[in-house]
Structures are given as structure tokens and as C-alpha cells.
Structure 1
Amino acid sequence: MTPRISRLNAHPRPRPNAHARARLRPATGLAAAGLVVVMLGSGCAALTGDTGSDELGQFLSALETGDLAGAAALTTDPAAAEESLTASVAGLGYPALSTSADGDRPDQEPVPVEFTWNLGDGSGGEEQGDDDNTTTPDTSGEAAADERIATTSGQAGTVKVGEEWKVQWEPTILDSRLVAGGALAYSDLLDYDTNILDRTGAPLMQWTPVTAVTLAPDAAGSADAVAGLVSGAAPTITGQSIRDGMAEHPEQPYQVVALRPDDIDPIREQLAAVPGVSLPEQGQLIRTDRELDSPVLDGLPNAWTEALQAEGGWSVDIVNPGVEPIEVAGAPVGEVEDLTSTLQISMQQAAQSAVDGSGQAASLVAIQPSTGGILAVAQNSAADQQGPVSMEGRFPPGSTFKVVTTAAALQAGVVGPEEIVPCPGQITVSGRTIPNDDDFALGDVPLETAFARSCNTSQAVISDRLEPSAMKDTAAQLGLGVGFFASGLSPNVFTGSVPVTEQGPARVEASIGQGEVLASPFGMAVMTASLANNGQMIQPHVIQGMPGTANDSPEPLPQNVVDTLRRYMEQTVQTGTATAANSVPGLGGKTGTAEVGSGPSHGWFVATTGDIAVAVLIEGAGSSGPAVSMAAGFLNAAGQPAA
């Protein structure tokens, strides 16, 4: 099949500017090549200075070390030479360079000069956008190609100006086909027509032409006018936010927003009339549904870029004014199949609807236990103000951590699945007094009942029998506290942190998810999904066919422990603290209330049914009740993952 190459990469190409291309190419620099100047004669000694050969050698040496101004100063037209040399070297991305010249009298006729441009390994990227529903590729992907080399052949002569020899400046020094105003240019060739689909095959992200609304550095006075015009498409942009952004790099043009064709067309003429506004066209990978928002979407362009670079081609061209570019070197681009995400748009919409219904900061993460695929990640605007807390937040998990404490105790054999345990209203263990919520007391009850009713005092008793590392090790078996890495998954994701605790107050606090125990909603979803995956830690990922890796590979929980915990969690929904969610068939879960200073407690709920595991956090909810209701609403609306 013929690769689908975006018109943005097809000939004719505009000459890249120095700033943009410097970001695209490796940071090796001309100086990396060292001094490799070879002056070859025709069976005679090296050229002598009275022909200008020394000056030609100095000119080539300056180019190799990256001293473009110094090289230009050795020519008959320093200004034109520096402009032309800079355009080509920047257009190639400041590569490493070696040169050679062949001839014995550059003063009599131009001698052949050869330039070998080492363009690196093909790693690169694109200019960044600033739209709240558009994203451009990152440059963090691994290089997909071997070293890229281009060779150009030109001619150079010398002439005596006064008492000094000078290199006769002509663009043809770099290549005999270059003309005034022309330059060498490097391009990455990528199959930009590759889409990202959701797990059902519905388009999730596509490469789309957009218009970048850009303000000149001295046009801050136009900020309010621009904000007013783009507010329909980007309501979060204000005149002040534009001015703040411009102040970060006051010497550079500021891209306010990148707008889709439907958004820019009605206001294009009005924007163009605002002083200092320019409207360059570019391409970006954007979300097909502008309303779809999630922290997990932000990493998908990285996976997309990696896939494109794996099949990427490249081209070095001579770009002369007004004519078709001339290819010097390159490799063709390969076709990349559409990427399929593990996300499901309908589930993401249901998750977003669920969190948007809360007045407090709320986050929800859903994962498919059988595969580790992330199904949905949502947080509302109140949570957004803190950053991507659904994936990176650090919160005490409260009683949801009793899944770990109970699993550790069952696995260690310090408590049996049918054991009778005390559940008084308060208890002092190892110097720490722990109360139940509102000091409720059940007396001596089966461990299943104590778990379902969330008895803090029971957990304190059984934790006192554990080894110092038991809770930390058990948490890791379920992925909590483990670092995960996957294409498209942010490198900053955080599952949790569980300390090693000696017998004493710190262990008692940790047993109920307080003290030094921390977790994110993502981490609690991983824990719950791993338990549902027969106790085998999942490998969370967001692109099908690109599974993740972990910095730990713990043994799974024993099956008898898994079966016991599932029974306890189902009992929690049927008769315990999560009965508000018993309308969801087959649901098992665990509630949690986490104290945070003097403010209202955070409310948690983790649950699993069928092939979906979910974690919900509502900050400052005061109890777990709102989180239970939110999870039930989401699960009833979302159903099961599509096959």
C-alpha cells in the first residue's frame, strides 16, 4: 500500500527557520564533528597561502566548529554569507559536519568542496500548540532510524582583496545547485494520516489542519481583544492569561490558541484586523470530540509520535525560491496503521458526567482487569485546579487500604478467613488509640463482618501481628507502590507509597490507610483491578499492542486469599458500608474515609464487577457515601467494556 503522507510534509516545503529546526534535530552541534578538513592536491604538496588556500581551509574549519560568523568573515560578502550559511545549517538542524576540498589553485578556478552532514539518528518533533483540546507531538520518543547522512558538493574559489585573501562568496559553495535565497532543508517524513481510535474503533484523535492565533511580542495591548474573539472556542482564555503567557518569554511571539477550521472561519477576518495578530496554518493531533477531556489523553500523542517515527522517513532538499525542491538524500516513509487505544469514549463520557455532578474535587479511574487497559480517567474542574490528580495525586486512601491490610494478614496466616475478631468502639494498640467512625461498636464478630462494616479497631488488632514489611509487600503484589511505564502513559503517574512499619503507632495508622500511606485514584484502581485479575498485578497501559512494564514483578496473591477478599467485598456492598451501590450486579467494593488535617475527610470507594474495576475519590466529601453513589451511577451508565 502507498504510505499516506501528510501534505505538510510533501514538496514543496517551506524553509524551516533556525529556531524550529534547532528543536527538531539532535543537539550534537557542528562542533561535535571536530576538525576534519582535508585539502587534496593533484600529486603535489599542500596548498600554500599565496593562493588563498589557507583562508579556504580556515573557512571550512570554522564551519565544522559551528562558527558561522567567523566563516562568513573570511568571505568577500560576510553579511550575505552569514545569512545563507545560517539558513542552511539551521535548516538541517545544526548537524555535525565534515568537509574536504580537492584542488591546488583556488585563486585560478573554483575547486571542488564536499560537505558531509551527519544528521543524527532521526529523533525529532513538532512545534507545540496551546489549545485546551489540541495536542502536538512530543520529542521524547526513541529514535527509529539509523544514522542519517547527506552529502553535498559545491565549489569554492579565492580572491585577493587588498592585502588579504578571501573566499569568493557564492551560494554554490555548499552545493552547486544552490542559488541566492536558497537553502538546504531537512524534513522528517511521517505518516500523519495515522489516527488514534478508541477500543470500539471510533476516532479519538486525528491529525488536522489548524490555525495558530499568535501575538507579536510587542502586542500585549491586543490581549483583551483576542481573548474576546476566541472565547467561544476557548472560554478559559482571558486577556490576563494571554499577558501572563507573553511575559514568560517577552522576546518571542506568543501562540494564544490553535483553532480548528470551524472555530477560526467565523472570526478569521476580525482576528486578522487586530494589531499584532498573525494566523499561521499548521497541523496538530487533536481530539475529535472537543468536549472529551482527560489527563490520560495528554500522553497519547507521545505514543502516536513513537509509532510514526518507527516507520518514519526523511529528506534533505535544496530549496530554491520559486522552484520545486531538489532532493539530496533521504529515505521513504512507511505506512503506520491506526493506533487503537484501550479507552472507550462512551465510558469516558460516563465518567466525566459522574465527576461533574459533584460540588467537590472528584476523580474517577476505570481499568479492565483482564488486560490492564485503562478504560476511562475523569476529574472535574475543581480537581483540575490541582493538576492531573487522578493519575498523579497523593492522598491517604483511608479504609480502602484495608484490602491490603486484610490480604497481608490472611496471606501471613495471622488471621483466618472465618476468624472472630473484636470490634469495639475504640481500642488502643501499640500506644495508638483508634476509634471507629462515630465510635460504633459491634463486639466480637467474624472478620468478614468487620471488613464489610469497616471496623478500624479490628484492623488495628490484626495489623499488630504483622511483620514490618508485610503491608508494603502485599500492596506491591496488587500494584500499589509500583512504578509503571507504558507508551502513552505519563512518566509522572503515581500509584502509591506504603512504608515499612515497625510495631507501634505508625503501623496501626497505616493499617487503616492513614499516616504515611499515600495513593492516587489511579493507584487504587490498579490495586482493585489486580485483585480482580486473580491477584496477579496488572500492567496498566493505554494503547493496545503496547503493553506496559513495571519496576517490580511480585508474586500474585494466593488464590484462597483472593477468593476471601472478593467475598468480603461483595458483603460490603450487600450488607456493609456500600449498600447504596447494591443495584450494580455482582459488585464488590470497599469504602474509605480519610482524615486530612482539620478539614472534612476525603471519601473513597473502590469496586469491581465483571471486567471493570473503578476507583472514586471525592475530596472533602466528609464520608464515603458520595463516592459510593458516584461509582454506582458510573457503572450503571457505562456497562461493561466493549470486546
Structure 2
Amino acid sequence: MKIWVRRAPKMACAVATCGLVVAISACGATSGESKDAAGAVREFAAAMERQDAGGAAKFTTAPGQAGEALTETLQSMDAEHVDMEVQNPVQYSDGTASFGLTTTWRWDEDRTFETTSSGTARHLSTGWKITWDPSIIHPGLPYGGQLREIRTDASPAPTVNSRSGKTFMYLQPVNEIILDPNETKDVRRSVRALARTIEPIAPLITTQVISDKLAEAPGEAITAVTLRDPDMEVLRSDPEAVPGVVVRKAGMLVTKDRRLSSPLESGLTNYWQAIRNATAGWQVQMVGPGIKPRKLAGEQGPPGPDVQTTVDQSVQLTLGDAAVEVGQPATIMALDASTGAILAMARNSYAVDRGTNVDTVYPVGTTLNPVLTEVDRTANANQESSDAVMDRLGLGVQFTVPGASAPSQDQPGVATVDFRPDGIGMSMMNMGALGVALARSSMGQMTSVAPYIVKGVSTTVAGGQLGELDAATTAPILRAMTTVAKTGDASDLTGAPGLKALVGTNGPQGPGWFLGLQGGKVIVIYTEGDRSGTAALQVAQKYFRIK
């Protein structure tokens, strides 16, 4: 897949060290005078090749207007290289001259745009100057106009579909409500007014929430909330009436069923965006006051394929209802017990604030004691390392799950198990993989598999290998899980026939875990705060009650 990489425009020394590109140019490289017309035009062309708008403008009859126009085009074209060749300069006895220019704009991926223009020059007291006209940039370019290179996307945009083929997420127009503290005389007053304006549709975006966003990015504009078009009709007033607030139109991948919200949306959006990037095209346009953008060049590939996922929207709705059962951070994920397909994941607002996700390693405390006991016993019996046994169970490896992992600078993929002196840490994805391995072994499928969410797209496994499961290892763990469900910590749960479970905490302050096998699904619950083990069981009970 090809992905266009946009690079920052190369600004000449006039911008880098002299300040305003229009007012000052060339930093002493030239006086702006030339002994003949051809020399002046060549100096103009050389400055354009350096992408020095001010330097080029000094060789025109209107440096101010030319500098502004050239700056706008150079920045909007954002080319890696500009080649400008002077053609047929002719100087006349009446102090005028004519010339032609061939300009080639170059970007990555061998993208080029060539244009041919012409102009005139005349001899003034300050030397030869190009008679300024925007058509020197491109024939027919009006005053106030510019050339620009833009990205284009094929239509229709891909959709993200659920396991049944129905649309789960799709591209929709949205409105980004942006507050710029530099554009209001009273920031606090604007924050309060904005919170009141959006309260009917976004009551959770309070004055405090907006203030916190501003505090996290001092002096910068922040997006207070992003609303769909129908949401805007519910607002009490126009957000742009608040000083410092602007509404920016954009497109965003959103869930079709507005009742659904999942931390999986981030990873799926990243995967969807990669498809859009790979199928993106480009276009050079001429734009100007009062005229419709005119395409001058470009290419556009076909639309990208829809993203077929394993998400079950019914399970997603159930998990969302279960996660809000407790007033502390709670996250719940469901996987298909036979295949490892991720069916759904949900978290409550407390977990959203905490940033809980499948990527992060969390302490497991006593939760995996029955597992670790059998891992050590198997390792000793088979004269192999405990790490190798852990890997086969999906615990000691790192998963990068396309569509679920949301890589970032600090977190390039889903975290692996973390063996620390004060205990063991696991990601929710590792816990889910363990559950799937145990469930498969109970069904006679004696190999572990990696969780996945995009159909036909494999998960990357690093740091170890999955593989054959040993009934001598898994059977005692499954018996222990049955005991936990029948007479242990999970014995009070109802509506879950055949449940096998692991329950544990990392001390009084948590976190708490629940790993359950039931009804052909693996359920992983992670909670934080006081009595988090009890909270995990409460979430589990709500799930079994409404599933």
C-alpha cells in the first residue's frame, strides 16, 4: 500500500532568520538589482527554487503583493523541490523585456506538476524588474489566488463492519468545537459560556473538563468536544457566539449505533485510516476569490475495501451496560472461546478518565495463582523454562492486533507480560489469550491462538511462541476455575451455567480481575479502586444477567 507522506515546506533563509518573508528577503544574498532583464528573471527563478518568496518578490515591480502571493502558493503547494527554468528572455530597446518560465513542482512518490507561464519586465531606476502579475505563477491565476496541492480520498469511504456484515462504524461529518484562549479577553468566562452552550448534548464536558484541557496545553487552542450535525441542532445557542470559539467542519469515523462506545474504536480507526492513506490521491488546484477550485493535475485510486471485523454489536451493547454497573473504573472484554476473535470491549466513564485499554500492563495479584502453580509444575516435569510454558498459554508474549492495538510513541503495540519483583503484570489482551487457550483445551483444541479483530488479518506475536497445549497443564487449571465458580469467590454469580472463573485482586486498593469461560465466550474484566475484586464480580453478574 502506498501512503503519501507530506513534508513541511522548505523555507528559505528569509523565513528562517530574517522574519517576515514578504518584507525582507535573501538575507543580504542579493541587492535586488540586475544589470539586464535575463539576469533579473534568473535571480527570480533561483529564489523560487530555494522557495524564498521574499527573495523572488524583490525582483518584481510590486514586492509586497508578489511576496504575499508567492508565499501562499509555496506554502500551499508544499513541494519537496521546485525547478524553474527561464525560457527565451528577450530584451527590447524601449526598456522592456519578455520571457517564459517552465516550473516543475516535485513531491515524493515521483509526483510532479509542470506549468508554463510568461511575463514581461521593465527597466526602472532600481534596475530590471519583472512586471508583477499572478499569471507568472500560472496562466490565468487571478489576483488573490494561489496554487495548492491537496490530498484527495476516494468515494465512498470504507465502512467498518461487524461480524454479521452490518455497518459498525462509518465516516460522518462532524463539528469540532474549538476554544482558542488567545482569541478571548476572558478565558474563564468563555469556558463557562461554552460549557452552558453544549450542556444539552454533552453534559459531561463541564467547565472543569474544558479548563483541564486548557491547562494541559497552555496557550494552545483545544477541541472541547466533537459533535455530529444532528447534535448541533440540540444546542441552546451557536457555540461561535462565545468569544474565542470556532466550529470547524471535519469528517470522522463514528459508530452507526450511537448507543455503542468502545475503546476498540481507536484501533479500528487507525486501521481504517491506514487504508484511506494507502488509497489516497492528490490534486493540484487553482483557487482564488469568487472562483470555484479548478483541478490542474492529479491522480486518484479506487476506493479502499471495507473493514470486516469480528465485533458483535449485540455483545458490545451488553458489555456497555455491564461496565456502568459500578462507580469506579471498570473495563470488560469478550472473545470467542474457540477462535480468539474479539467480540466487544467496553468501559465506563471512570475507566475512560483513567485511560484503561488492552495495551497497558496491570498488576494481577492473586488472580493467576492457580495458573502459575501449574506452569511451574509443568516446567519442572518437562525440564523446560517457565517462560516457554507461559508463552504457550498466551501470557508471556506480546500481541500487536491490527484494529485493536492503538500504537503510540510511548506504546508501539500491546504490552507483554511484565514479571516484576513485587508481582506479575498482564495486559487485558494477554488475559484474554489465556482464557481462549484454556477454553480451547477444554474443547479438545490443543493449540493456543492469538486474539484478532479484523477478519483475514493476522496478529503479530513477539517475545515468544504460542503452540501446543498440554492437558496435564490446562486440566488442573480448569478444575481450579470450576471450583472458584462453584464454591469459591465467584460462587454467588447466577445465570452462568458451566462457568469457570479466576478472580483476584492486587491488595485492598486493587486492581481487581475476573476471567470467565462461559457460553462459548471468554470474559475479561478489569477494575480499579477499593474493593475492586467485588466490583469485578458485580460487573460480571450484570453481564450474565443481561446477556
Q: Counterparts of 2:304 and 2:364 in 1: how far apart (Å)?
A: 43
1:117 and 2:117 matched: no
Retained in 2: the 8 A contact 1:29–1:96?
no
| 1:173-322 correspondence to structure 2 within 5 Å | 173-190=136-153, 191=155, 193-216=157-180, 217-219=182-184, 220=187, 221-246=189-214, 253-267=221-235, 269-322=237-290
TM-superposed deviation, 1:244: 4.8
Give the equivalent residue in structure 1 for 2:528.
619
| 1:64-103 correspondence to structure 2 within 5 Å | 64-103=49-88
Structure-2-length-normalised TM-score: 0.82
User: Which whole-Å deviations, capped at 9, do the CAs of 1:572-623 have from their partners, x for residues lacking one?
Assistant: 423444333474233322222322xxx4444322122354212122324547
Structure 2 counterpart SS, 1:398: coil
Gaps of 5+ in 1: 1-23, 33-47, 121-145, 415-465, 501-505, 507-514, 639-643
TM-superposed deviation, 1:392: 1.8
Give the equivalent residue in structure 2 for 1:336.
304
- Percentage of matched positions with identical amino acids: 27
TM-superposed deviation, 1:406: 1.0
Q: Counterparts of 1:76 and 1:241 in 2: how far apart (Å)?
A: 53
Structure 2 counterpart SS, 1:392: coil
Give the equivalent residue in structure 2 for 1:490.
406
Q: Counterparts of 2:449 and 2:327 in 1: how far apart (Å)?
A: 32
Residues 578 and 210 (structure 1), Cα distance of their counterparts in 2 relative to 1, 3 Å cut: closer
User: Which whole-Å deviations, capped at 9, do the CAs of 1:123-159 have from their partners, x for residues lacking one?
Assistant: xxxxxxxxxxxxxxxxxxxxxxx43222222224433
Give the equivalent residue in structure 2 for 1:159.
122
TM-superposed deviation, 1:251: 6.2
Residues 401 and 26 (structure 1), Cα distance of their counterparts in 2 relative to 1, 3 Å cut: farther
TM-superposed deviation, 1:481: 3.9
Give the equivalent residue in structure 1 for 2:395.
480
**RMSD of aligned alpha carbons:** 3.1
Q: Counterparts of 2:204 and 2:534 in 1: how far apart (Å)?
A: 32
Retained in 2: the 8 A contact 1:495–1:524?
no
1:605 and 2:520 matched: no
Q: Counterparts of 2:11 and 2:243 in 1: how far apart (Å)?
A: 42
Retained in 2: the 8 A contact 1:72–1:79?
yes
User: Which whole-Å deviations, capped at 9, do the CAs of 1:448-473 have from their partners, x for residues lacking one?
Assistant: xxxxxxxxxxxxxxxxxx87xx3333
| 1:570-585 correspondence to structure 2 within 5 Å | 570-581=482-493, 583-585=495-497
Give the equivalent residue in structure 1 for 2:449.
538
Give the equivalent residue in structure 2 for 1:54.
39
Q: Counterparts of 2:415 and 2:437 in 1: how far apart (Å)?
A: 13
Retained in 1: the 8 A contact 2:157–2:303?
no
TM-superposed deviation, 1:554: 0.9
Aligned-partner residue type, residue 634 of structure 1: Y
TM-superposed deviation, 1:540: 2.8
Give the equivalent residue in structure 2 for 1:27.
7
Q: Counterparts of 2:456 and 2:110 in 1: how far apart (Å)?
A: 27
Q: Counterparts of 1:605 and 1:543 in 2: how far apart (Å)?
A: 25
User: Which whole-Å deviations, capped at 9, do the CAs of 1:23-44 have from their partners, x for residues lacking one?
Assistant: x962263479xxxxxxxxxxxx
Residues 369 and 59 (structure 1), Cα distance of their counterparts in 2 relative to 1, 3 Å cut: farther
TM-superposed deviation, 1:567: 4.1
Q: Counterparts of 2:446 and 2:123 in 1: how far apart (Å)?
A: 83
TM-superposed deviation, 1:229: 1.0
Aligned-partner residue type, residue 528 of structure 2: E
Retained in 2: the 8 A contact 1:480–1:524?
yes
Task: Please say which of residues 328-337 and 405-414 is displaced more in the overlay.
Answer: 405-414
1:593 and 2:509 matched: no
Q: Counterparts of 1:394 and 1:187 in 2: how far apart (Å)?
A: 43
Retained in 1: the 8 A contact 2:397–2:463?
yes
Q: Counterparts of 2:543 and 2:263 in 1: how far apart (Å)?
A: 18
Retained in 2: the 8 A contact 1:379–1:390?
no
Q: Counterparts of 2:176 and 2:542 in 1: how far apart (Å)?
A: 40
1:368 and 2:333 matched: no
Aligned-partner residue type, residue 183 of structure 2: D
Q: Counterparts of 1:637 and 1:407 in 2: how far apart (Å)?
A: 35
1:566 and 2:529 matched: no
Select which of 403, 410, 419 maps to 1:499: 419
Retained in 1: the 8 A contact 2:398–2:462?
yes
TM-superposed deviation, 1:334: 1.0
Residues 111 and 273 (structure 1), Cα distance of their counterparts in 2 relative to 1, 3 Å cut: same
Retained in 2: the 8 A contact 1:313–1:334?
no
Residues 26 and 554 (structure 1), Cα distance of their counterparts in 2 relative to 1, 3 Å cut: same
Aligned-partner residue type, residue 569 of structure 1: M
Retained in 1: the 8 A contact 2:163–2:311?
yes
Residues 272 and 604 (structure 1), Cα distance of their counterparts in 2 relative to 1, 3 Å cut: closer
Residues 269 and 333 (structure 1), Cα distance of their counterparts in 2 relative to 1, 3 Å cut: farther
Q: Counterparts of 2:491 and 2:447 in 1: how far apart (Å)?
A: 28
Residues 97 and 408 (structure 1), Cα distance of their counterparts in 2 relative to 1, 3 Å cut: farther
Aligned-partner residue type, residue 459 of structure 2: G
Give the equivalent residue in structure 1 for 2:461.
550
Retained in 2: the 8 A contact 1:159–1:167?
yes
Structure 1 counterpart SS, 2:83: strand
Retained in 2: the 8 A contact 1:494–1:519?
no
Give the equivalent residue in structure 2 for 1:392.
360
Structure-1-length-normalised TM-score: 0.71
Retained in 2: the 8 A contact 1:400–1:605?
no
Gaps of 5+ in 2: 13-32
Retained in 2: the 8 A contact 1:363–1:617?
yes
Q: Counterparts of 2:379 and 2:101 in 1: how far apart (Å)?
A: 75
Give the equivalent residue in structure 2 for 1:437.
none
Retained in 1: the 8 A contact 2:197–2:236?
no
Q: Counterparts of 2:91 and 2:267 in 1: how far apart (Å)?
A: 55
User: Which whole-Å deviations, capped at 9, do the CAs of 1:344-399 have from their partners, x for residues lacking one?
Assistant: 22212211222211233222122224443322222223323321245424223423
Retained in 2: the 8 A contact 1:364–1:390?
no
Retained in 2: the 8 A contact 1:378–1:390?
no
Give the equivalent residue in structure 1 for 2:24.
none
Structure 2 counterpart SS, 1:86: helix
